[in-house]
Amino acid sequence: MQLKLQKITDFMSWFVRQYKEVLEHTAKSYPFRIVDERRVVKTGDILFTIQFIGKSTCPKITASEIAADAELIKGFSPEDVKRIMESSITQEKKLFVIEGGLANASYKIINKNINREDPSNPTYLVEYVNNLGKKETKMVSMKGLLALDNKLLKFPKNDIYEIAFHAGLNSAHDAQDEIQQLNK
Residue 96 has pLDDT above 70, yes or no: no
**What's the rounded Cα separation, in Å, for the pair 28 and 30?**
6
Q: What is the DSSP string of 87-155?
A: HHHHTTSPPP------TT-SEEEEEEE--SS-TTS-EEEEEEE-TTS-EEEEEEEHHHHHTTGGGGGGS
Domain end, chosen from 94, 126, 148, is at 94
CA angle 58, 64, 66 (to 5 degrees): 45
| Predicted local confidence at residue 97, as pLDDT | 54
Q: Do 85 and 132 belong together in one domain?
A: no
Give pTM, 2 decimals.
0.40
**Chain segment 56-91, per-residue pLDDT in tens:** 878 899 888 888 888 888 888 889 999 988 888 765
Q: Do 112 and 168 belong together in one domain?
A: yes
Q: Do 136 and 85 belong together in one domain?
A: no
- What is the three-class DSSP state of 37? strand
**What's the rounded Cα separation, in Å, for the pair 179 and 184?**
9
Asked if residue 173 lies in contact with residue 120, where contact means CB atoms within 8 angstroms, the answer is: yes
Higher pLDDT, 96 or 123: 123
**Chain segment 38-55, per-residue pLDDT in tens:** 888 777 788 999 988 877
Q: Is residue 2 part of a domain?
A: no
Q: Is residue 166 part of a domain?
A: yes
Q: Mean pLDDT, to the nearest integer, of 137-166? A: 77
Q: Which domain holds residue 178?
A: 107-183
Question: How many residues are recorded in the chain?
Answer: 184
Write down the mean pLDDT value for the chain. 79
Q: Is residue 13 part of a domain?
A: no
Q: Mean pLDDT, to the nearest integer, of 8-22? A: 86
**What's the rounded Cα separation, in Å, for the pair 144 and 147?**
5
| Predicted local confidence at residue 181, as pLDDT | 81
Number of domain units in the chain: 2
The burial class, CB within 10 Å (0-12 / 13-18 / 19+), for 147 is exposed
Q: Is residue 171 part of a domain?
A: yes
Beta strand 107-113 pairing with 135-141? unpaired
Q: Do 113 and 179 belong together in one domain?
A: yes
| Predicted local confidence at residue 139, as pLDDT | 87
Q: Is residue 5 part of a domain?
A: no
